[in-house]
Amino acid sequence: MRVLQISTTYPPADISGVGTLVLELRRELERTGHDPLVITRSAPPDDRAALAIGGRRLTFPLRALAATLRAHRGKPFDVVHVHESDGVVVAAAVRIARLFGRPLGRVLLGATLQVSYRQERLAVRPILADGVVISRPARSESVFRWLRAPFHALLGRWTARWADVVVAPSAATARELERDYGARRLRVIANGVAPGDEPAVRPVAATTTFLSVGRLRTRKAVGVLLEAFDRLRRERQDVELVVIGDGELRSVIEAQLARLGTAGVRLLGAVPRDQIARHLAAADVFVLPSIYEGFPLAILEAMAAGLPVLATRVSGNPEAVDDGVSGLLVEPEDASGLTRAMAHLAGDVELRRAMGRRGRRILAERFDIRRVSAAYLALWAESDGILGAALPAGRTGAPE
């Protein structure tokens, strides 16, 4: 099967969840004997399955169309799958080509939408910790809320309407896409990662290390984590917090940390991907305090590293973390609840290890990239992988 994926993000230049999923799918397609191509902005020069077209993100959709037409003429695609709204112009071209009986119109057109931008827009707001405002969006985030997010929501709606099938990474996201974008031909396929080798058993250390990885933006609510950790640190000194990531709120987070005067916190900023893996291997608990998510790959990568996951009960998080089994779930912006959960895990080494082992088993059963790729292949293969018009209407469940 000849499969084209279109995404403006792709590792190592961008280590976002979308880019990582595209890379992992491309690897699995190659491994299983298919013929993948990724059109993106930047890719390693030795990646022969990725076509880097450079340029600015704003003009990427038009340049992606030109690259798609050239590649399709050289070797026709069976499937064109766009990620987010980066391929909206290609999606429009496929639909128009069908009206005129052109070759590009005979491909299966799929789209994976990780979030609803209408919901992400609503997540750009003041952040509370136990009912008290602790941070407000940066100016650039306000621009996102009032200008960029509505534009992306419009493009997402067009993409969802034009695609033969829309993939959502969680049932929660599928409901959002159905409500906000009018998507009807929905398939839920969770994101996935490669489990990798069994992690070494962590020796019992004098200090329990909590790790958080993600962009420092409003919806990640890192300020709530700092408040919760400050309270934990007052109760016990044998804990530390490592925060990896950069973003719009870095100066706000730094100012909050200075105001709290909390010891045992390291803000590392952006670090290379291989270093993130080393930090995961050295940590004891992974924490994600977001107020909104799609289906974060960061949780899956923590599970692959054998870490218990402490996350908020929002969006797709409860579909990734089994509360009390592979980690703990707390309510968003509940700093007191987050402190209690951190204290519970900090005080029980065996519980952390048991949750980490269960998380790895859950990852292998539900979120192994090989299973995810098989689900995508099953989706694309429907109706001989050619015309989406033959796909069953209505919403369907994820293939096993």
The pLDDT score that the predictor gives to residue 392 is: 36
Question: Contact at 8 Å (CB) between 120 and 148?
Answer: no
Mean pLDDT of 10-19: 84
Summarised one tens digit per residue, pLDDT across range 243-280 is 999 999 999 999 999 999 999 999 999 998 889 999 99
CA distances from 294 to 41, 58, 114, 197, 212 (A): 23, 23, 5, 27, 17
Q: Is the pLDDT of residue 81 over 90?
A: yes
- Residue (of 327, 397, 326, 330) closest to 362 by Cα position: 326
The pLDDT score that the predictor gives to residue 397 is: 34
* Complete DSSP assignment for 73-112: HHS--SEEEEETTTTHHHHHHHHHHHHTT-GGGGSEEEEE
The pLDDT score that the predictor gives to residue 87 is: 94
Work out the number of other CB atoms within 10 angstroms of the CB of residue 139.
9
The pLDDT score that the predictor gives to residue 389 is: 42
The pLDDT score that the predictor gives to residue 396 is: 34
Q: What angle do CA 288, 82, 218 make, to 5 degrees?
A: 25
* H or E segment to which residue 362 belongs: helix 349-362
Summarised one tens digit per residue, pLDDT across range 309-365 is 999 999 999 999 999 999 999 999 999 999 999 999 999 999 999 999 999 999 999
* Token pair for 169: 């990474």
Q: Is the pLDDT of residue 384 over 80?
A: no
Q: Is the pLDDT of residue 175 over 90?
A: yes
Task: At 313, give phi and psi (nearest 5°).
Answer: -85, 70
Q: Is the pLDDT of residue 395 over 60?
A: no
Confidence category of residue 204, pLDDT binned at 50, 70, 90: confident
Mean pLDDT of 231-252: 96
pLDDT over 70, % of the chain: 96
Query: Minimum mean pLDDT among 154-158, 333-337, 383-387: which range?
Result: 383-387
* H or E segment to which residue 279 belongs: helix 273-282
Mean pLDDT, rounded, of the chain:
92
Mean pLDDT of 25-43: 95
* H or E segment to which residue 232 belongs: helix 222-235
Q: Is the pLDDT of residue 385 over 80?
A: no
* H or E segment to which residue 268 belongs: strand 265-269
Mean pLDDT of 108-132: 97
Question: Contact at 8 Å (CB) between 160 and 87?
Answer: no
- Residue (of 157, 101, 147) closest to 124 by Cα position: 147
Mean pLDDT of 45-52: 95
pTM here is 0.91
* Buried b / exposed e along 248-272 (16+ C-beta atoms within 10 A): bbbebbeebbeebebebbebeeeee
The pLDDT score that the predictor gives to residue 394 is: 36
Q: Is the pLDDT of residue 62 over 90?
A: yes
Q: Is the pLDDT of residue 390 over 50?
A: no
Mean pLDDT of 274-288: 95
